Amino acid sequence: MAFLARSLYRSRQFFRSFGASISDQERREVASRLSEGEQRLFFAMTARDQRHSLDVFHLLLRQGQTDPELLAAALLHDAGKGRVRIWHRVVYVLLRAASKRLFDRVASSEGASWRGSLAAIADHARRGAILATAAGASVGTVRLIRQHEQTEGELDPRVAILRAADESC
């Protein structure tokens, strides 16, 4: 049952990514929430990732979340993915679901090939934290970005809130 639910979620996410855009109002909202460096990082993401990040951000707002670090992390949590193609994301999801061992053998951080794109997606939380640090994000925002894919260890309590919103959008 969990596999079916995850498959439906990924299918919805895939189809929503086509024609993804953000409004002028949303651009102003990003500008009001993020520093100039963080804004550059946000707008460097693909339109698909900007849309997804805004969806996560808006969900958190609807839930009554007001923590500025959590909201900034929602907008920047996928910045480490870079500009990978949609088919790389599809291969990533399918290959990870089929065999983590095979995925680990195929994904390679060497070069800019499709294998490098898979590695970038897998490592996007760490990469995003580095980029957010360079962009001037707060320590708490950087921690949330770095930990948003983790499920074990000593995690910031806000990670569960961010992850739940991320998985819902």
Residue by residue, DSSP assigns 16-54 as HTTT----HHHHHHHHHHS-HHHHHHHHHS-HHHHHHHH
Per-residue confidence (pLDDT) for residue 126, from 0 to 100? 97
Count of domains forming the chain: 2
Query: pLDDT, tens digit, for every residue of 40-84?
Result: 999 999 999 999 999 999 999 999 999 999 999 999 999 999 888
Q: Is the pLDDT of residue 167 over 90?
A: yes
Sign of CA dihedral 44, 88, 108, 123: positive
Q: Is residue 7 part of a domain?
A: no
Per-residue confidence (pLDDT) for residue 95, from 0 to 100? 73
pLDDT category of residue 5 using cuts at 50, 70 and 90? low
Distance CA(155)–CA(157), nearest Å, equals: 6
Q: Is residue 138 part of a domain?
A: yes
Q: Is residue 79 part of a domain?
A: no
Distance CA(168)–CA(55), nearest Å, equals: 9
Q: Report the candidate in 97, 103, 139 with the shortest Cα–Cα distance to residue 123.
A: 103
Query: pLDDT, tens digit, for every residue of 92-121?
Result: 788 778 877 866 776 776 666 877 778 788
- State the residue range of the domain holding 145: 123-153
Residue type, position 104, single letter: D
Query: Per the structure block, which two tokens stand in for 53?
Result: 């990040």
- 0.85 surpassed by pTM: no
